[in-house]
Amino acid sequence: MVNCIFSHSLWLLLFCLQALAWGPLGGQGVDGIVKSQALSAIGAKYGKSAAQVALRWLTQRGIVAIPKSSHKERMAQNFDVFDFTLTDEDMAQIASMNQHDTGTINFSDPQFVKYLIETYG
């Protein structure tokens, strides 16, 4: 089950809600965000990775991000997002990205089901 919310900041404020992004960078087999050329180009301006830009974008929008990683170096990178600020132009560019090209999965897609079976048995 997935609970979807309209994440307009006014709604969040009116109803005292805190938006949370759990696993916002994808995971195994879902790497569109961390390999995004657009996010990488923005990150290059700040000396940051595409993943760090994505996490900063969420943070600047007031969304609590809980990225998952088992790699120490990535965990450290995930915390290293508070020493830069994305410009309004950066924020708008990221917001306009097509989310189906950046890591979301259609769990009913037969190719994805096949991937799961082949990978995890």
This prediction's pTM? 0.67
Please give the single-letter amino acid code of residue 77: Q
Average pLDDT (14-34) is 67
Taking only the tens place, the pLDDT of each residue in 74-109 is 889 989 999 999 999 999 998 888 655 445 566 677
Q: Does residue 23 surpass a pLDDT of 70?
A: no
Nearest partner of 39 among 95, 111, 100, judged by Cα: 95
- Contacts of residue 59, Cβ cutoff 8 Å, sequence gap at least 6: 65, 81, 82
Taking only the tens place, the pLDDT of each residue in 34-68 is 888 999 999 999 999 998 999 999 899 888 888 88
Report how far Cα 118 is from the mean position of its chain's Cα atoms: 26
Q: What is the pLDDT of residue 102?
A: 45
Maximal CA-CA distance, the chain: 46
Confidence of residue 19 (pLDDT cuts 50, 70, 90): low
Q: How far apart are CA 22 and CA 33, in angstroms?
A: 14
Q: How far apart are CA 70 and CA 86, in angstroms?
A: 27
